[in-house]
Structures are given as C-alpha cells and as structure tokens.
C-alpha cells in the first residue's frame, strides 16, 4: 500500500514555487499572452502594459481594462467592469506560465502560439 501511494505521488507533477511579483512583471510586461484551458482551446488573451496595467479579452471584440497586483503568493487582477479581485497561483515552467484560479481551481497554461488581441475599441489597444 505504501509503495502504491509513493508511486502515485511520484507520478504527479511537482508543484513549482510561486512566482514573485517581480518575476511575473519581468515575464509579462510589454507582452500579449494567450492562455489555453484544459481542453487546449484558447481561454483568453491578455496584454500587459506598464504600471501593471492589463487588457483582457475572453471573447474577440470584447476587452476589459484592469490592473494586477501581488497578494501573498498570488497574482490578482481587478478589471474596470468587475473590481472584485480574481487571484491566481502562478508558476513559471519551461513552457511559460501555469496559473490556477484560487476561486475555481481552473488551471490555464500560457499558449505557445500567440493569439491576436481583438478589441471593439481600437483606442484601447493604442493605450498598451
């Protein structure tokens, strides 16, 4: 029984150390990242601007502006349309970011292929 438990634990992916705010900023600032869900489909696209500003789109043509901040070992986001913080456990892997929602447990990974950020208001894109 002990051996089976040890083998099961060995098969699980190792938990990476949380990403610090500084490491997160260094990885994302000035970039546009796409994130995929468990099904491998694009979940959303986010552009990271200066001063921790973000532009998020879960649906092409619909964008939300917001900011990110660190809270304990989490990276949290607030958006102008929904100021309630959305916090994530963030790890940096060899393939990019892996984020897990502290609210729902949903895990997303940084997509290797960049998806375009499409907003209905072109002025939003020019701010980033």
Q: What domains does the chain contain, in order, with CATH numbers?
A: 14-126 (2.40.128)
Phi-psi region of 92 (alpha: psi -120 to 50; beta: other; left: phi over 0): beta
Residues 6 or more apart in contact with residue 5 via CB below 8 angstroms:
none
> Does residue 6 have a pLDDT over 90?
no
> Does residue 85 have a pLDDT over 90?
yes
Query: What are the residues facing 77 on neighbouring strands?
Result: 68, 86
Residue-level pLDDT at 113: 74
pLDDT band with cut points at 50, 70 and 90 for residue 16: low
> Does residue 1 have a pLDDT over 70?
no
Q: What mean pLDDT, rounded, does the chain reach?
A: 86
More confident residue, 16 or 98: 98
Residue-level pLDDT at 115: 76
**90: closest CA among 16, 12, 10?**
16
Residues 18-52 pLDDT 10s: 799 999 999 999 999 999 999 999 999 999 999 99
Mean pLDDT, to the nearest integer, of 67-96? 95
Mean pLDDT, to the nearest integer, of 89-112? 95
């Amino acid at each position: 029984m002990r051996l089976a438990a040890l083998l099961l634990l060995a098969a699980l992916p190792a938990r990476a150390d949380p990403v610090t705010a500084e490491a997160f900023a260094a990885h994302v600032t000035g970039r546009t990242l796409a994130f995929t869900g468990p099904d491998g489909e694009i979940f959303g696209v986010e552009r990271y601007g200066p001063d921790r500003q973000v532009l998020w789109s879960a649906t092409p043509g619909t964008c939300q502006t917001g900011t990110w901040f660190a809270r304990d070992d989490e990276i949290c986001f607030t958006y102008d349309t929904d100021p309630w913080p959305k916090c994530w456990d963030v790890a940096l892997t060899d393939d990019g970011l892996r984020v897990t929602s502290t609210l729902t447990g949903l895990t997303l990974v940084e997509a290797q292929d960049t998806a375009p950020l499409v907003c209905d208001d072109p002025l939003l894109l020019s701010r980033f």
